[in-house]
Each structure stands twice: as C-alpha cells, then as structure tokens.
Amino acid sequence: MLGEKIKQYRENRNMTQSEVAEILGVKPATISKYEAGILEPNVESLKRLSEIFGISIDELLKEDVFDISKINVLEVLREQKDMKLKGSLYHNTQIIFAYNTNHIEGSRLTEEQTRYIYETNTLLAEKDSVTDIDDILETVNHFKLVDYMLDVADKKLTEKMIKEFHQILKEGTLDSRKNWFNVGEYKKLPNEVGGLKTTEPKNVEKDIKKLLEWYESLKQITINEIIEFHAKFEHIHPFQDGNGRIGRIITFKECLKNNIVPFIILDKDKLFYYRGLNKYQSNKEKGYLIDTCLNAQDQYAKIVEYYLK
C-alpha cells in the first residue's frame, strides 16, 4: 500500500512526520493520514515525496509483488492455530481441506455444513435430510488430524506417524468397531483402487518400509518427489479404508516440512486426480497427476496470497 511505503521510506531516512510535513507545507496530521491510508497525496505532494526519498514517482506508486517463496506456510499455520485466529489462513485451510478430502471419498456433507461444524461444533441440518454419523465424525477427526499433522510436520515421516494419522481419522467411526478393520494398523483383507490391485496384506509392512527407505535416501525433496511418494503410497493402499485421505495429509505435511507450497486436491478436480493416479501407477503417464497437483498448488498459493498479502 502507498501509505505503508511512505512510512517505510520516511523511517529509512530517519525523518519524523513533522519534518516531512514541513517540506510539503502540510500539517503532520496529513502525513499521518497518508501513512494510514486515510488520505492519498495529490500529484504535487507525490512529486515532493519522491524527491525527499530519492526515488521516482513510479517506484513510490508501484505495488509490491507478493513473493510466496518468502513465506514459511508451516510457521504461519502453527501460529494461527495456537492463536485460534478466526477467518485466517489456518481457519479456512481446515474447512477447505476437510470438505474436499472427505467429499472425494463420498462424504455427503456440504462445504457449508463442514464450515458450520468447524465454527460452531454443531451440524446445520437440512429439512428431511439424513446425515451419516460417520461423515460428521470423520470431518471432526480430520480437523484434529490437521492439528496433529501441523505439530509433527517438521519431523521425519515414519510408519508410526502414518498409523497415528489413520487412528485419528477413523477414531469412533463404525469402522473402528469392526475387529477386522484394524484402525491404526495395516489392512487384514485385500482391497483395490481404480480397478488396480494393491499390495497384499502380508506384504504391506515390507512395502511401506521400502517406500520410506527410498524416500529417505533422496538427496533433494521437491514437489515431484512428494507426488511420486503419494502415487506409490496409494498403490500400496496400506489401510482397509482412508488411504486417500491419509495419503493427501502426508503430501501436505511433506510440502510444509520442505518449505514447499502445499496443495489440497479439490473435489471438483477428483476425476483428473483419479485419472492421474491410475496413469501414474500403471506406468503409462506421470504428467496427468503432476499437472493436477501443480494446479492444486497454484490454487492454494492464491489462498495464501489472499490472507497474507
């Protein structure tokens, strides 16, 4: 903002508002209004200000370009979480993440209902509608999962952590009351995704260990390596259910850990996402999934800019 730039340049010159006001032939209160954005200087005042600060008028009026690479998103989210700051990046990340990741998996809660649950701890029910209790529980659990993920985001990803993620997500659900479901532990029964066979239950632990060893051996982690980890994780499909949501929370965590702008796959893009995973896992084409994730990253970057610019 122009007012902020005037204040910054004035302070860099070690000048008081009164000194600048005297040169411009105005009252100190006028300079205060300039800096607060209440009043804009006229053309003549802009010319005099640029002369005082030793810059061009264009430089004074030029809007600062938002540079997201200078933002540590993890620190921002953690700080806002601890502050319980409403209407913040953290607040809306919770709602956007929970709604979209659950809706991709079949939740019938609307984004408005998800927001209502987060903000009021109550459900906004529609007349004559039937709401699945598990949809509510998994939404609330996802809020808890994001908080826990932020607490451990800078730590090394381990089997124990991945299982803890699953335990938090599925706690109290109908699935958690089924002995064979094995909440917080690897699957006991075979499953598939997108028509592709996944790792057999007896081989899950071995394949997860192998995946983590490969990931830890990488000399550099970029978004491409995180996307590849995600594709391999989903191909293993280690849990009886909840694999997509756990996989997406891991990608978010690993982006934060490596100071990469994270991404949230939106429900409207789920067909592109599923196609990307299928193509990636069948070794046909990596570009579909990469493009979908990069597009999601661009969308989240715009959200970050909106709240932090």
pTM: 0.82
Q: Give residue 155's identity as a one-letter amino acid code.
A: K
From the number of C-beta atoms within 10 Å of its C-beta (0-12, 13-18, 19+), residue 283 rates as exposed
**Angle, helices 43-53/17-24, rounded to nearest 10 degrees:** 120
Q: Give residue 225's identity as a one-letter amino acid code.
A: E
Query: Rounded to an integer, what is the distance from CA 68 to the centroid of its chain?
Result: 13
Cα diameter, the chain: 82
Q: In sequence order, which ranges of the chain are alpha helices (DSSP H)?
A: 2-12, 17-24, 28-36, 43-53, 57-61, 73-83, 89-104, 111-120, 133-152, 159-170, 204-217, 223-236, 243-257, 270-281, 287-308
Domain ranges of the chain: 2-61, 70-308
User: Domain 70-308 belongs to what topology?
Assistant: Fic-like fold (1.10.3290)
Confidence (pLDDT) at 300: 98
pLDDT in tens, the chain (309 residues): 789 889 989 999 999 999 999 999 999 999 999 999 899 999 999 999 999 999 998 888 887 777 888 899 999 999 999 999 999 999 999 999 999 999 999 999 999 999 999 999 999 877 767 889 999 999 999 999 999 999 999 999 999 999 999 999 999 999 999 989 999 999 999 998 878 899 999 999 999 999 999 999 999 999 999 999 999 999 999 999 999 999 999 999 999 999 999 999 999 999 999 999 999 988 889 999 999 999 999 999 999 999 998
Confidence (pLDDT) at 309: 80
- Report whether 279 contacts 285 (CB < 8 A): yes
From the number of C-beta atoms within 10 Å of its C-beta (0-12, 13-18, 19+), residue 164 rates as middle
Q: Choose the CATH number for 2-61 among 1.10.1040.10, 1.10.260.40, 1.10.510.10, 3.40.190.10.
A: 1.10.260.40
Helix (H) or strand (E) holding 193: strand 192-193
